[in-house]
Amino acid sequence: MKIVVLDSFPLNPGDNPWTAVAALGDLVVHERTPAEKILARAAGADVLLTNKVPLTAAMLEQLPVLKLICVLATGFNVVDVAAARRRGIPVCNVPVYGTDSVAQFVFALLLELCHHVALHSQRVHEGEWGRREWSFWDTPMIELSGRTMGVVGFGRIGRRVGELAHAFGMKVLAHDINRGAAPSYDAFAWAGIEEIFAQADVVSLHCPLTAENRGLVNWALLSRMRRDAFLINTSRGLLVNETDLAEALRQGTLAGAALDVVSEEPISAANPLLKAPNCLLTPHIAWATLAARRRLTQTTAENIAAFLRGQPIHVVN
């Protein structure tokens, strides 16, 4: 059985071997695959693994021996799943691998907004501490205890963010179209999206992108935020109207924002957030701890092994 990885580099830049997958068949690994080489590299594959390389209906029609597609991520919008279903090709994803890593990164962003650790370290290295008082700060120092965390999308990651917020002494407001059970800790309440944006000191986005919530965070919501509040997005870039957010930051409608995802990745030089004040931008790395990437690789191997046993798992189509 031939297994082809179309874009291995994000998952394994050299520290996360494909050993478990290689044990299941004849493995061919491509670090990156440009659009013009997708079909040539996919030809003859029984199993295709893709992270961001798109597999369209037209492509699938030209891959007659393909039997399984594994997406090296939770989101599977890079594959035309309906076309794969018509061809009888299961599409499997990895639904759980980065919960703790992403939730931890949310607080890395939030604590940077609260303390600007990198800035103050830079000041010390520039000699400022030797020229100034025994203790100085060039930005406000913000304590989280007693403040309110608003979580939009209360699935696995959103719930973990809520738990961490509670551990910091924060109140938690959460919104989800499928609420499920409320968490066991105190100082929790379900709330509408508008209520969260109006009341929370921090709003963190954790919902999947759908046709209904594309551009959800627009001027109407941003204008409801407290002037000392923060927005964090480690979910999907297209949840946010970036032009509206950049303008809100310029006007001081909110105190700051931190985004690990943007509408176009890699980021366009024309993205208005690049010039917005009080805006942290990181290159889609919340998921990328070695522990999370190892879980992703192992689950992908389990997806392939289950398919070979005739009992596929994590099928999204």
Distances (CA, A) of 90 to 39, 110, 118, 310: 19, 39, 46, 11
Q: Is 284 a catalytic residue?
A: yes
In the numeric block, which tokens belong to residue 152?
A: 């939009």
Q: How far is 150 from 204, CA to CA, in rounded Å? A: 6
Catalytic hit among 41, 115, 284, 294: 284
Q: Does 265 participate in catalysis according to the annotation?
A: yes
**CA 66 – CA 188 distance, rounded (Å):** 48
Q: What is the DSSP letter of 315?
A: B
- The pair of three-digit structure tokens given for residue 60, joined into one six-digit string: 């699938």
Instruction: Please give the backbone phi and psi of residue 190, each rounded to the nearest 5 degrees, phi first.
Output: -75, 150
Q: What is the Cα–Cα distance from 94 to 300, expressed in whole angstroms?
A: 7
**Catalytic residue (choose from 166, 236, 293, 314):** 236
Spatial separation of the C-alpha atoms in residues 200 and 91, rounded to whole Å: 38
Catalytic positions, written as ranges: 236, 265, 284
